[in-house]
C-alpha cells in the first residue's frame, strides 16, 4: 500500500523540509544539545523498540525556580500499519535506538533560553524518542520470519515514566505533556494516564502540536486515514490501551478512538490544541492522499498553494471548516482548554524557534504561540482560544508550501531529495 510508505516517511521528514524552506532562526541561537539516556530497566518490563532495542529519552535538567517543574515532549515520526512497513521502519531511527543520533537539539518549547522560551526555559525538559510506530500505544508482538517485531509503545511510555519518577518527576509541582505530529497524537492518548503518575497537588496539563488528525473524507470520497488507523490499531494491539469510555461509546468501531476528535471529550486533564487549519501532512495524506489523485491533478497545488484552482481552494477551505467543526464543542464548552488554530500551511510549530517565539513567528491577534500557550498554562487570561481567519489572510505564516507563483515542482523535488538524504543520516 503506497499510502503506508508515504504516511510513515512524510511525518518523519516534514519538520526537516520546514527547516529547508523557512528562513533562518532570527535569534541565531543554535539550541542546546542534550545526550540520550537508554532506559536500562525497560527489558524487565518488555518495553522494546520495533527491533528489540532499548527505548530512550533526552533529559535537560531544570534549574532555579523551575527545578520541580517538568515538560515531556513525545517525538513524532508517522506510523506503520502492516508487517512490511514496520519491518522496514525497524531498520531506521524510527524503529530502533541503534540508528538514532545520540544527542538531540532542544529549541522552541525545549529551549533553556529565557528570552526564547520565557515560561518553560528553566523546567526539566524531556524528549521521548519514538521507535514503536503507533504513537506509544501498542502492546503486542509479531513473528517476522527468523526475528520478532515488538509493538510495545505502551510499555515504552510506562518504562520511561518509571525511569523519570525517581529523578524528580514523582515530586513535580507543575507538568506539561506535549508532542508533535504522531507525538501530538500521543499527547491526547496518554494525557490522563500521565496525570495518574503525578502528585495530586501537581498542576498537570497537556498540549498537542499538529496532532489533531481528522477522520477526513478525501477528494475521492474515501476515508483513507480511517482505513490506515484501523489497520494500525489491529496490527499493534492498540485497542486495549484506548480510553475505555471512548471505545464503549464508539462500539463497534473502537479504533475511531485513535482519532483525537473522538477521544477529546473523554479527556479530563486540561488540554491545549495547537494546529494549522491547513496542516500540510493532513492536506497531503488525509485530504489528497496519492491514492485519491492517481493522475496528479493536485501536484502543483500541493507544492504551491497559489497554483490551486478554485475547486481545489474550495476543498482546502472545506477541510478547515471540518477541522473547526470537529473542535467546536471543545471551543464552546471546555472551560480549562486552550487552542491556537492558525491558517498557515504548516506542520509542528512548537519545537522550532522561528515558529514558537521569534520576531517573525506566526501570530493570531498579535499573539505568538509561546505567549498563548503560556497564558493558558499559567491562567493569565480567560478563555485562551485563538482561531485564525481563513487563508490567505494571515501574513505572519512560515509556510511549508511556498506562497509563490513560480513553478516549484522541480524545486520541491530537489528539496525532498536533499532532505531525505539528510534524514537518512540523522
In the chain, the largest separation of any two C-alpha atoms, in whole Å, equals 58
Residue 393 has pLDDT above 70, yes or no: yes
Is 93 noted as a catalytic residue in this protein? no
Average predicted confidence (pLDDT) for the chain: 89
Is the CB of residue 185 less than 8 Å from the CB of residue 134? Answer: no
Is 279 noted as a catalytic residue in this protein? yes
CATH number of the 33-416 domain: 3.40.50.1820
Closest Cα to residue 254, out of 268, 282, 234? 234
Is 181 noted as a catalytic residue in this protein? yes
285-328: pLDDT as tens digits: 999 999 999 999 999 999 999 999 999 999 999 999 999 999 99
| In the chain, where the domains are located | 33-416
d(CA 123, CA 315): 42
User: What φ, ψ does residue 98 adopt, rounded to 5°?
Assistant: -65, -30
Residue of 93, 190, 284, 347 with catalytic role: 347
Beta pairing partners, 35? 103
Residue of 53, 85, 135, 181 with catalytic role: 181
Residue of 51, 279, 293, 346 with catalytic role: 279
Q: Is 171 exposed, middle or buried (0-12, 13-18, 19+ CB in 10 A)?
A: middle
190-241: pLDDT as tens digits: 999 999 999 999 999 999 999 999 999 999 999 999 999 999 999 999 999 9
User: Does residue 405 or residue 94 have the better pLDDT?
Assistant: 94
Amino acid at each position: 500500500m503506497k499510502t503506508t510508505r508515504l504516511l510513515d516517511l512524510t511525518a518523519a521528514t516534514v519538520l526537516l523540509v520546514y527547516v529547508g524552506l523557512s528562513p533562518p532562526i532570527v535569534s541565531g541561537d543554535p539550541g542546546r544539545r542534550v545526550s540520550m539516556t537508554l532506559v536500562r530497566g525497560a527489558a524487565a518490563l518488555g518495553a522494546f523498540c520495533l527491533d528489540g532495542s532499548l527505548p530512550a529519552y533526552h533529559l535537560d535538567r531544570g534549574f532555579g525556580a523551575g527545578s520541580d517543574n517538568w515538560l515531556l515532549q513525545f517525538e513524532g515520526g508517522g506510523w506503520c500499519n502492516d508487517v512490511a512497513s514496520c519491518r522496514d521502519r525497524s531498520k531506521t531511527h524510527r524503529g530502533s535506538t541503534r540508528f538514532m543520533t545520540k544527542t538531540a537539539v532542544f529549541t522552541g518549547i525545549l529551549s533553556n533560553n529565557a528570552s526564547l522560551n520565557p515560561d518553560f526555559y528553566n523546567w526539566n525538559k524531556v524528549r521521548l524518542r519514538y521507535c514503536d510506530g503507533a504513537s506509544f500505544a501498542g502492546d503486542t508482538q509479531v513473528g517476522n520470519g527468523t526475528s520478532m517485531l515488538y509493538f510495545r509503545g505502551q510499555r515504552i511510555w510506562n518504562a520511561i515514566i518509571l525511569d523519570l519518577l525517581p529523578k524528580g518527576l514523582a515530586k513535580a509541582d507543575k507538568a506539561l505533556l506535549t508532542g508533535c505530529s504522531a507525538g501530538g497524537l500521543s499527547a491526547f492518548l496518554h494525557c490522563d494516564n500521565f496525570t495518574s503518575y503525578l502528585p495530586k497537588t501537581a498542576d498537570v496539563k497537556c498540549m498537542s502540536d499538529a496532532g489533531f488528525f481528522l477522520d477526513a473524507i478525501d477528494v475521492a470520497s474515501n476515508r483513507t486515514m480511517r482505513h490506515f488507523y484501523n489497520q494500525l490499531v489491529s496490527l499493534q494491539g492498540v485497542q486495549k490501551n484506548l480510553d475505555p469510555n471512548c471505545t464503549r461509546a464508539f462500539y463497534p468501531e473502537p479504533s475511531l478512538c485513535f482519532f483525537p476528535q473522538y477521544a477529546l471529550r473523554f479527556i479530563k486533564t486540561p488540554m491545549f490544541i495547537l494546529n494549522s487549519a491547513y496542516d500540510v501532512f493532513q492536506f497531503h495524506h488525509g485530504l489528497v492522499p496519492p491514492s485519491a489523485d492517481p493522475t496528479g491533478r493536485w501536484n502543483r497545488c500541493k507544492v504551491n498553494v497559489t497554483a490551486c484552482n478554485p475547486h481545489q481552494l474550495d476543498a482546502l477551505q472545506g477541510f478547515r471548516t471540518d477541522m473547526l467543526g470537529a473542535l467546536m464543542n471543545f471551543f464552546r464548552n471546555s472551560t480549562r482548554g486552550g487552542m491556537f488554530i492558525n491558517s498557515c500551511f504548516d506542520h509542528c510549530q512548537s519545537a522550532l524557534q522561528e515558529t514558537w517565539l521569534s520576531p517573525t513567528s506566526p501570530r493570531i491577534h498579535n499573539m505568538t504561540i509561546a505567549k498563548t500557550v503560556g497564558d493558558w498554562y499559567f491562567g493569565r487570561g480567560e478563555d485562551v482560544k485563538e482561531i485564525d481567519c481563513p487563508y490567505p489572510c494571515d501574513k505572519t505564516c512560515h509556510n511549508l508550501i511556498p506562497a509563490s507563483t513560480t513553478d516549484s515542482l522541480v524545486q520541491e523535488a530537489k528539496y525532498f531529495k536533499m532532505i531525505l538524504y539528510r534524514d537518512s543520516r540523522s
